[in-house]
Amino acid sequence: MSFNGYKDLIVEGESVILYLTINQFYILEAKTTTLSKKGVVVQNIFQTPYGSLACGDLIGKKYGTKIQLKKGWAYILQPTPEFWTELLPHRTQIIYTPDISMILLCLELKPTSIVIESGTGSGSLSHAIIRKIKPSGHLYTFDFHETRVDIARNEFKEHGLSQYVTVQTRDVCTDGFGKDLEGKADSVFLDLPQPWLAATFTSQVFKRGGGRLCSFSPCVEQVQKMCSALTNLGYQEIQTMEVLQSQFAIQKKKMSILNLDMLKTSNNKETVKNEKEFSNFITSVAPNTLPGHTGYLTLLLFHQHM
């Protein structure tokens, strides 16, 4: 339930972020017991590098507080879509926060929007869309992979988001989006290997007056094919872009300053040796390797007068 709105205290069954360090954080369920691999009810114990944690103990604790582990401590935080993107079990290639942010803004989503997404994939983008469109909007998300659909549906339920989302098994490239959605949507998002096949069905789903579409593709060829398909369908204002984020490591650095002036004269040898000079400064270092490509975002407008 913990993805729906702001919560103060951990309620039984909620997902909780256990934060140790910037590279060590986990998602777990605040439940006293769990099912083992063999299907037996066992105590829900989570192993961390700082010792084990009985997850049931978290119930009733306040989000944002510190908890003691055997060999150190950790913090418990309420999950956000951004944490989920970092932690979700990958079933497909996923979309990350910099692209997600751009998609949400450029699709002009608000708490009343009706959105169509395909494919659902691992549900990384879906969680962020839901945060943006609740309480009055709704997300219809499709994937042709039945197991993925079931897992995603289950996750939305566990995260307390079911009322804002409908997940369906459907190959939108061959079957379109269904009669029920005709004239319903404000925005459409496509992340498909051959998005132009689904594109032909998109013009029917928009509300009277039109809406916005975004297509995410990793390859230039896909983008080219998609752009010409959409132009033929009457889409306007095609804009293709990429966004890459780099994070800095911020460091305090110390650099020794060599005194070379003293070489010009023969005296004062000793005093100079003792006075070693340093320059202290703060700097941010970009990582040696960083994501150089995720995908191209193509954004368009569909408009028709009523």
Partner 1 sequence: MEETIKVGDYIIVQRQNYTKLHKLKGHGTILLGSFNIEMDNCIGERYFDTFQIKNVPNSKRNYTLEKIENLSLVSSNLNVEESGNDNRNIEADDNNQTMSSEEINKMKDEELSSNNIVEKLISNSKTFSTKTGFSQEKYIKKKSKKYCEYIQIRRPSIRLMAQMFYRQDPAKILGIRIDDLSQILTYSNIQSEGTHVLYDSGTSGLMSAALMETIGPNTTGKLIHMHPGNECQKVAFLAMEYPEEQRKRCINVNLYSVLRQFYQGNPGEGDSIEPNEQSSNAENQVTEEPDAKRRKVERPNWQVDNEEACELLKKGVHSIVITAKEHPVNIVDALEPFLLPSRNLVVFSTFKEPLEELYFHLKTKLNYLAVKLSTNFMRNYQVLPERTHPEVNMTNGGYLLTGIKIEQ
At 136, the amino acid letter reads S
Candidates 24, 36, 52, 65; binder of partner 1 (CB under 8 A) is 65
Q: Which is nearer to partner 1, 128 or 139 (CB)?
A: 128
| C-alpha to C-alpha distances, 87 to 11, 50, 244, 303, nearest whole angstrom | 21, 19, 20, 38
**Beta carbons of 227 and 240 less than 8 angstroms apart:** yes
Is 166 a residue that touches partner 1 (CB under 8 A)?
no
Tokens of 14: 């909620």
191 marked ligand binding residue = yes
125 marked ligand binding residue = yes
123 marked ligand binding residue = yes
Element (H, E) at 175: helix 172-175
Least distance in Å: CB of 197 to partner 1? 18
Burial 271-288 (b: 16+ CB within 10 A, else e): eeeeeeeeeeeeeeeeee
Is 305 a residue that touches partner 1 (CB under 8 A)?
yes
Least distance in Å: CB of 9 to partner 1? 11
Candidates 151, 201, 298, 300; binder of partner 1 (CB under 8 A) is 298
- Count CA within 13 A, CB hemisphere, residue 5: 8
What pairs with residue 27 in β-bridges?
A: 17
290 marked ligand binding residue = no
Candidates 1, 11, 102, 272; binder of partner 1 (CB under 8 A) is 102
Is 296 a residue that touches partner 1 (CB under 8 A)?
yes
Candidates 280, 282, 288, 289; binder of partner 1 (CB under 8 A) is 282
178 marked ligand binding residue = no
| C-alpha to C-alpha distances, 296 to 108, 136, 224, 240, nearest whole angstrom | 18, 30, 11, 7
Candidates 12, 29, 82, 158; binder of partner 1 (CB under 8 A) is 82
**CA-wise closest residue to 61 among 82, 75, 46, 47:** 75
Say whether 17 sits in a helix, a strand or coil. Answer: strand
**Beta carbons of 256 and 239 less than 8 angstroms apart:** no
Is 244 a residue that touches partner 1 (CB under 8 A)?
yes
Is 228 a residue that touches partner 1 (CB under 8 A)?
yes
Q: Which is nearer to partner 1, 143 or 187 (CB)?
A: 187
Element (H, E) at 270: helix 269-274
Residues making up the binding site for S-adenosyl-L-methionine: 122-125, 143, 191
User: Residues in the site for partner 1, rule: CB under 8 A?
Assistant: 5-6, 8, 19, 22, 25, 62-66, 75-78, 80-82, 97-98, 100-102, 104-106, 108, 110-112, 128, 131-132, 134-136, 209, 220, 223-224, 227-228, 238-248, 250, 252, 282-284, 296, 298, 303, 305-306
